[in-house]
Structure 1
């Protein structure tokens, strides 16, 4: 049953669009199915957005905000670089759930879309900068710190990929311990 009295915000629509993107990329973002999922009519959508493209832009901005520099601020505030890296790896790896959809990985299928390219680039850049800075503070020279950051980040993305395809993936706590042991080694 559709509830027209339900007041959804623009952010509610953007978050619903992100859930759809996680399952099927940009192609999965469609107003009517989102309205059904949210239990409202399309009129609710048009109270916030003129069209699907505006919704996609807003959803990508929300993803960038929630996964980019703003989201990393709490980790950047940790003064001990080893503790920062340990906490970051633990949080990221423990968030990886078997067969769970990933906005980041789903967006790679739409990587030629300029909006997607920009959002993924911002998120990647923020994460790589934090990792590189952390490895620099741990004593690695600049080139080596940047290389280690890329390898650590690639491993994190690889774990996300494996989790999407492997229902028998190891428990995330064990993976977090292993990732911390590997990526804290100088």
Structure 2
């Protein structure tokens, strides 16, 4: 019978799940091994230590949330509004739990804060590049980029009932305004 190892990606996925559920302190080798139904010895086949796993988690999060998203959007038709709409659709379908856990973690860890700043700068630069294709001036593109990013990050924290509209209707209305020809 062949010796089957738990894939590296399974450890990373389980760690990201633990992070979103309980923060970085919940990412413990023994707990992950139990969750995966394997011995913790298999962990050391892939990672030298817990810190190596934490670094790989952040790499995976960045690849998934930035590199893969940009590649997917760039593979779409060249119309910038269509690309932005697709980006909004992707953002609305993302489970933001890991994103929020990384943001919370960054408040207590300088290295994570530095990584988050780099990731956010990459996202904002990409948004600006798309909005600059549809906006008359740089200030307009910058404002729409900031509002867009704020909508993605801040929306889960808003508990207000949006009148007689659903949350998804309100987000669609905001997106329509952000993509409009004019703010007036």
Normalization by structure 1: what TM-score?
0.81
Give the distance between the partners of 2:15 and 2:118, measured in 1 at CA.
19
* 1:162 to partner: Cα distance: 4.2
Equivalent of 2:104 in 101, 109, 122: 109
List alignment gaps of at least 5 residues for structure 1: 164-168
Give the distance between the partners of 1:175 and 1:75, measured in 2 at CA.
23
Contact 1:69 1:123 in 2 (8 A): no
Equivalent of 2:135 in 133, 139, 148: 139
Give the distance between the partners of 1:108 and 1:95, measured in 2 at CA.
15
Following TM superposition, the consecutive aligned residue runs of length 4 or more in structure 1 with deviations greater than 2 angstroms are 160-163, 169-172, 174-180
How many residues align structurally? 172
List alignment gaps of at least 5 residues for structure 2: 160-164
Give the distance between the partners of 2:170 and 2:31, measured in 1 at CA.
36
Greater C-alpha radius of gyration: 2
* 1:121 to partner: Cα distance: 2.1
Determine the structure 1 residue equivalent to 2:162.
Answer: none
* 1:20 to partner: Cα distance: 1.0
Normalization by structure 2: what TM-score?
0.82
Determine the structure 2 residue equivalent to 1:54.
Answer: 52
